[in-house]
Amino acid sequence: MSLNFLFPILGYLFGSLPFSIWITRYVKHVDVRDSGSGHATTTNTIRQAGFGWGALVLVLDIAKGFIPTYLAFSRNEIPTYLVVLTAAFAVIGHCWPLFAQFRGGMGLATAGGTFLAVNPLTFLISLGLLILLVLVVRHSARASVFTGILIAPVLWLFHIRDISLWVTLGAGLVIAVRFLIDWNRKYRELWLDRENKSS
């Protein structure tokens, strides 16, 4: 009996590992979600625990998208849709984690890990698109929504039409939905995602 159907479950469980919550609680004895953006993110970890701990969270959040997606992608004769579901569920797990009362992060790093697992060029293109849209839109949440929606069509234009196209479509839609919660958020510093003092 094939166990391929377990990979999306594995993706969700990996995604649900709330590293920013665990690390910030260990270092500062606080819940990373109680201040700043209110999300379990790398930037919130940087605010509360420092750059080094934030960098560790970033690497771990990328890894929890990369590992299950890569395991599924590397398995012989696994259907494409199961790889796509594994990637999407890893991002869903990060955003709505089983192990953290379903209050997690925003999913960008974890989605990046899933892209990296299937095609490193896809990861670079998606990162470039996000940076470009942040500079143009000057609102990181809205730029992230647009990135989630546009990354698959952009890959199509670049003639990248392998499995990474479908992975970016699945994970990208999760990102787009997740960032709608911050659509009207005020910003002072784009990359640190801090609220405007005047708001």
Number of domains comprising the chain: 1
Assess if residue 105 is contained within a domain. Answer: yes
pLDDT bucket at 54, cuts 50 / 70 / 90: very high
Q: pLDDT class for 187, splitting at 50, 70, 90?
A: low
80-111, pLDDT tens digit by residue? 999 999 999 999 999 999 999 999 999 999 99
Q: How far apart are CA 120 and CA 138, in angstroms?
A: 26
CB–CB of 85/165 below 8 Å?
no
- The answer to the question of residue 199 being in a domain is no
Residue 192 lies in a domain: no
Residue 191 lies in a domain: no
Residue 54 belongs to a domain: yes
Check pLDDT > 60 for residue 195.
no
Residue 66 lies in a domain: yes
> Contact at 8 Å (CB) between 82 and 4?
yes
* 78: containing domain: 4-182
Domain membership of residue 127 (yes or no) is yes
Question: Whole-model pTM?
Answer: 0.90
Q: Is residue 188 in a domain?
A: no
Structure tokens that stand for 143 in this block: 């730029």
Of 33, 49, 42, the closest CA to residue 64 belongs to: 42
Report how far residue 158's alpha carbon sits from residue 62's, in angstroms, rounded to the nearest whole number: 24
